Amino acid sequence: MTNGNRADRPVVAGVDGSPSAMDATRWAARQAVRLGVPLRLLYVADLPPLNPHVTAPPPSYASAWLDSGRKWLSEAEDMATDEVPEARVETDVRLGQTSDTLIEESRSASLLVLGTRGYGGFRRLLVGSVASTVAAHAACPVVVLPAGTATVDTGDVVVGADGSALGVEALGLGFDVAAARRARLVAVRVWHESLADAAWSGLPVRDELDKVTEQELRALRTDLLPWREKYPDVEVSEHVVRAGKPADALLDAARHAQLIVVGSHGRGVVSGTLLGSTSQALLHTVTTCPVAIVRPRE
């Protein structure tokens, strides 16, 4: 991957027995084998409170949840090896807070793969809560699978390439996945120029629009060059689009995609506390393929 020695970093999937988590397991198993890394299946027993006066659950209560987790892990491991017999599978059970544990796990992972909705240990894993928190703070890219997208295995890998450092990181992940899946990479660069807005209608701005488009295309090709040299067999399509919202342009380019990759530009009181508007919009909008969110390196 783009952040560390890939051979030492497994693909990690969150498991909780739900159909969504099983989808994540299937997708993660295929990707781990393609990348030549282990698949690590993780269950987190994030215990619900018994009542406001209980400070800690009794041992039998925690044990029951952990036993359920081991059962779900066994089922997930069977599914992974049925899906991809050559998968090298590791399993682990943790007791703790879901998002914190996943974020900690991301520090030694190449990818962290999650479903959008779960129950059991991941019962609060809804886009906008745990999934958004993990995607906003993880130390590795996070792949979130909308329901029914586990078997999406053909089509383009679409990458939002905005010229930032995170955009370059996103291109690296996109090329990595495209090479492993023998897919075409579609690099999308979106620009918005206020001088070309409706207020300037009727003025001779066509030449200015063309100049900006040419500049953005040159910048995109500069960002693509090192990745093209590293992955010469990956077919690349370049798209420079003028749009008000980058997410709209990415969604348009990704109608037949198998993965969308974007960088997360967090904005908040503390840097990185929130996902950027584009990544947030994609997590809430995309229903046809997984979405990968690339975070800054820590």
Residue 137 has pLDDT above 80, yes or no: yes
- 155 token code pair: 């089509």
Rounded-to-integer distance, Cα 149 and Cα 37, Å: 22
Name every residue whose Cβ is closer than 8 Å to that of residue 152 and which is 6 or more positions away in sequence. Answer: 258, 288, 289, 290
| Distance (Å) of CA 196 to CA 47, 200, 245, 252, 268 | 54, 6, 15, 21, 30
Is the pLDDT at 193 greater than 80, yes or no? no
What's the rounded Cα separation, in Å, for the pair 297 and 63?
Answer: 36
For domain 11-145, the question of CATH label 3.30.420.40 is answered with: no
* In the chain, where the domains are located: 11-145, 156-294
Q: Looking at 173-182, 234-243, 275-284, which range is the least confident one?
A: 275-284
Angle at 36 between CA 159 and CA 164, to 5 degrees: 25
Least-confidence region, from 10-14, 62-66, 224-228 = 62-66
For residue 122, give the 3-state DSSP assignment: helix
Top-level class of domain 156-294: alpha beta
- Same topology between domain 11-145 and domain 156-294: yes
Q: pLDDT > 70: what percent of the chain?
A: 78
**What pLDDT shows up at residue 263?**
86
Contacts (Cβ under 8 Å, ≥6 apart) of 165: 296
